[in-house]
Amino acid sequence: MLVLTRRAGERVVIDEAIVVTVLRVEGDRVRIGISAPKEVPVRRAELPARPASGGPAMVDASDASGPLVSAGALSAS
């Protein structure tokens, strides 16, 4: 596992296709934004993978204008 220190506004680029941006840090909560191609599934680890028929567990990470997750914010401590 690669461990990095980032401040709000800083980014991490993965394989030139996925960008993780630290949006805000408040106490022990970190709000991040993820930009990824539509074919890359993005989900919170505590949620099960989306069934083949589709479901709410994953989000469209390529739409930077809308909410990043439908059920709440991604956070890490």
Q: What is the pLDDT of residues 38-73, one digit of tens each?
A: 999 998 889 888 776 655 555 555 544 444 443 334
Q: How far is CA 62 from CA 28, 45, 65, in A?
A: 27, 19, 9
pLDDT at 65: 46
Cα distances from 35 to residues 7, 27, 63, in angstroms, run 18, 24, 8
Burial of 59 (0-12, 13-18, 19+ CB in 10 A): buried
pLDDT at 15: 94
Threshold 0.75, pTM exceeds: no
Which pLDDT value is given to residue 36?
Answer: 96
The pLDDT assigned to 24 comes to 96
One DSSP character per residue, 55-72 reads -TTEE-TT-TTS-S-SSS
The pLDDT score that the predictor gives to residue 67 is 44
Name beta bridge partners: 32. Answer: 22
Calculate the average pLDDT of the chain.
Answer: 78
Average pLDDT rounded to a whole number, residues 14-43: 94
